[in-house]
């Protein structure tokens, strides 16, 4: 299989499992009928959108922390100004 097909399968499995969990939580909370579908869409795509924002933000934050505390030159020793 090519990587694009694997990525499509993995992303669809992730969205479907998130949707099933959200529907189960809403159903267990007492939501029934057509409102269950609205709650299902709201929770599922809310979680997907939040994760789509948090993952790149985490990557940027870790890059920022890495560049702040490490020297760009390996031979350079950081000194402390007193």
pLDDT in tens, 11-41: 888 888 888 888 888 888 888 887 887 877 8
**In-domain check, residue 74:** no
pLDDT at position 47 is 83
Domain count along the chain: 1
Stretch 29-57: mean pLDDT, rounded? 83
41-to-17, 48, 56, 61 alpha-carbon distances in Å: 13, 11, 23, 30
In a domain? residue 42: yes
> Could you tell me if residue 79 is inside a domain?
no
Listed residue (23, 64, 19) closest to 44, CA to CA: 19
Domain span at 16: 3-69
The pLDDT assigned to 77 comes to 63
Q: Judge if pTM exceeds 0.85.
A: no
């Amino acid at each position: 299989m090519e990587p694009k097909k694997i990525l499509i399968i993995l992303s669809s499995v992730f969205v479907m499992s998130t949707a099933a969990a959200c529907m189960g939580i809403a159903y267990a909370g007492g939501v029934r009928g057509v409102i269950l579908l609205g709650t299902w869409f709201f929770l599922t795509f809310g979680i997907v959108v939040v994760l789509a924002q948090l993952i790149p933000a985490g990557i940027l934050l870790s890059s920022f922390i890495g560049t702040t505390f490490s020297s760009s030159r390996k031979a350079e020793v950081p000194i402390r100004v007193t």
